[in-house]
Amino acid sequence: MSSPFADLLGTLVRQRGVMGGLVVSESDGIIVDATLQVGIKGNVVAALAASLFRKARLSSAAAGLGEAMFLTLEAEHGRVCAAGRSDLILVTIADPRTNLGLLRVEMLKGLEGGTLS
């Protein structure tokens, strides 16, 4: 039996350079569903992304900018992207050469579909 997030995660991990996609609880960083390449530390990435996104959302609201919807962490060996509008956030892990614009569009399109609402 597939989860309600299977199609969304499948679309994301088919993007060139994407090594994994996760649906994570923002409040505690627990993985709800994931599609990951072997060797990816999903629990670590989930906790990191949830913490960063939660802090970005609070900071954005405090600054009067409205609700944060998309966050990118760029590091030497890759990127972690997070997007969300509810307690669940969509997270992708990608290598540095990934087309960030295309990935962002696909993630936000996934949010618009209402799967995470």
74 occurs within a structural domain: yes
46 occurs within a structural domain: yes
72 occurs within a structural domain: yes
Angle at 18 between CA 17 and CA 21, to 5 degrees: 180
| pLDDT at site 64 | 94
25 occurs within a structural domain: yes
1 occurs within a structural domain: no
Number of domains making up the chain: 1
pLDDT in tens, 59-89: 999 999 998 999 999 999 999 999 998 889 9
Is the overall model pTM greater than 0.75, yes or no? yes
117 occurs within a structural domain: no
CATH of the domain at 11: 3.30.450.30
Residue 1 has pLDDT above 60, yes or no: no
| pLDDT at site 98 | 93
Task: Determine how many CB atoms are found less than 10 A away from the CB of residue 4.
Answer: 11
pLDDT in tens, 18-66: 999 999 999 999 999 999 999 999 999 999 999 999 999 999 999 999 9
Amino acid at site 82: A
79 occurs within a structural domain: yes
List the domain range (segments joined by +) for residue 73: 6-112
65 occurs within a structural domain: yes
